[in-house]
Amino acid sequence: MKTPATALPKLSPKAGNASAVQAAGACVCGAVRLEIDVPAVWAWHDHSARSRHAQGAAYATYVGSWKSRLRILQGAEHLTRFEDPQAGTARSFCARCGTPMLYERAHSPKMVNIPRAVFSERTGREPRYHLNLAEQADWTWAGEALAPLKGYPGVMRERPRKKTRSAPLDPMFEP
């Protein structure tokens, strides 16, 4: 029986290195698709100010992979690369939708870090490591107790940290 062409895996020059299991990921618009061989090397939370800024998030969670085990399956031409010589890093993102896709660091040139959030599948590593905690933003939610906000289903509120007086509601929630 002839296999339909659509069922064939997309091959890349490095396909010979592929392990039996891959984890696939994509940017928000779907133009860029990639995969890594599973398991990844490690996974970690990066609390550095630079990653926070670049990702637009309290902290970034990355999956580290050997570069030789990463394949860009589609849309490599949409990846825009920003090199920061001062930090010794290079960040690549989808130029169509802005999703951060790759983060390379000069001191580990054979590794590439990929935001955990771009993967739709398990990568074989739990993010158990925290780096650059000294740079953690003081507004990062660290699991403090939350309580439901009355009148706003689905909204939880962190209790005020200082007990001297209760913090006013943010304007968004004022009646």
- Toward Zn ion, which CB reaches closer, 18 or 73? 73
* Minimal distance, residue 122 CB to Zn ion, in Å: 22
* Minimal distance, residue 33 CB to Zn ion, in Å: 10
* Minimal distance, residue 106 CB to Zn ion, in Å: 26
- Toward Zn ion, which CB reaches closer, 54 or 111? 54
Rounded to whole angstroms, how far apart are CA atoms 105 and 45? 15
- Toward Zn ion, which CB reaches closer, 31 or 34? 31
- Binding positions for Zn ion, rule: CB under 5 A: 27, 29, 31, 94, 96-97
Task: At 52, give phi and psi (nearest 5°).
Answer: -60, -45
- Toward Zn ion, which CB reaches closer, 41 or 60? 60
* Minimal distance, residue 99 CB to Zn ion, in Å: 5
